[in-house]
Amino acid sequence: MAELKVNLCGITLDNPIIPASGTFGYGHEFAGIYDINILGTFSFKGTTREPRFGNNTPRIAECPSGLLNSVGLQNPGIHSVINEELLKLNHVFHKKVMANVCGFSVEEYIYNATLLDQVEQVGWIELNISCPNIHNGGLAFGGTVRSAYEVVYAVRKEVKKPIIPKLSPNVSTIAEIASACEAAGADGVSLINTLLGLRIDLKSKKPVLANITGGLSGPAILPVALRMIYEVYKAVKIPIIGMGGISSAGDVIEAMLAGATAVEVGSANLINPYACRDIIDALPETMDKYNIKSLSEVTGGSHG
């Protein structure tokens, strides 16, 4: 029988499938569609200290083999998430959940992470370091080795639970940034976030998105994600959560062969709300096809 279990930063998952932040709400939205307890876990919607309405519309644009989004971290704020969203989640999800933390300053990251560190149901804290640093001219925290190190180090000093920075692909040195996160005390890294893109409306001759640019996700970015996972696996010893264009059981295994311990599924959930369930169902047959007995033994298998 195929063994799907993997270990992520000391916590055993029934399988490596994790719906990605921003594509699965706070979990209970999907609980009426299927039993979400079949998931390994899921990463809930990126959460800031204060409520955010997000960017102006339009903020979604279709692309060949993917989509652009510029949602702008719309969320009800950390206190509503803890006091309302996670209380509702307790009724439908009986595993540890991954908390996706966003911030516009180091202090905001610390504030949000320390509050979630006290929530029993939270198993991991995924730091979205693609957020713009308002004290550094709007550059993303994950844009340089130094800024990535600083925010991870600052949160590490205050938080006991596993910290997993989510890395941006819009850099030239993702392996170096991952190494800096490891040196700062990160327990794992997740990659990749979306790639910057643009679409122009031919009738108006203006950008489609109100924010002009957005994040490209979907099958189009899978080869880029695999390349970056492969590079980071050679640079760090901590677990990698791979993501970027994953939409099938075969994609999951490919990401794990590149170096991922677990895999997040993003845009596929927006196209097919049953995507993660279907991938989990397909994994045993796909493993059998490629003579794989245990997924925990697949990680990094493409490396010599």
Catalytic residue among 9, 102, 131, 181: 131
Is 102 noted as a catalytic residue in this protein? no
The residue assigned the tokens 């790639």 is 195
CA distances from 215 to 28, 64, 249 (A): 25, 14, 24
DSSP string of 42-98, one letter each residue: -BPPPB-SS-B--SPSP-EEEETTEEEE-----B--HHHIIIIIHHHHHTT--S-EE
Sort strands 200-201 and 206-207 into parallel, antiparallel or unpaired: antiparallel
Alpha-carbon distance 131 to 198, whole Å?
Answer: 19
* Count of C-beta atoms within a 10 Å radius of residue 205: 7
Q: Could you tell me which residues come within 8 angstroms of residue 135 by beta carbon, excluding any fewer than 6 positions away?
A: 105
Does residue 194 contact residue 216 with C-beta atoms inside 8 Å? yes
Positive or negative: CA dihedral 252, 257, 258, 259: positive
DSSP 20: P
Tokens of 193: 């976030």
- Active-site amino acid positions: 131
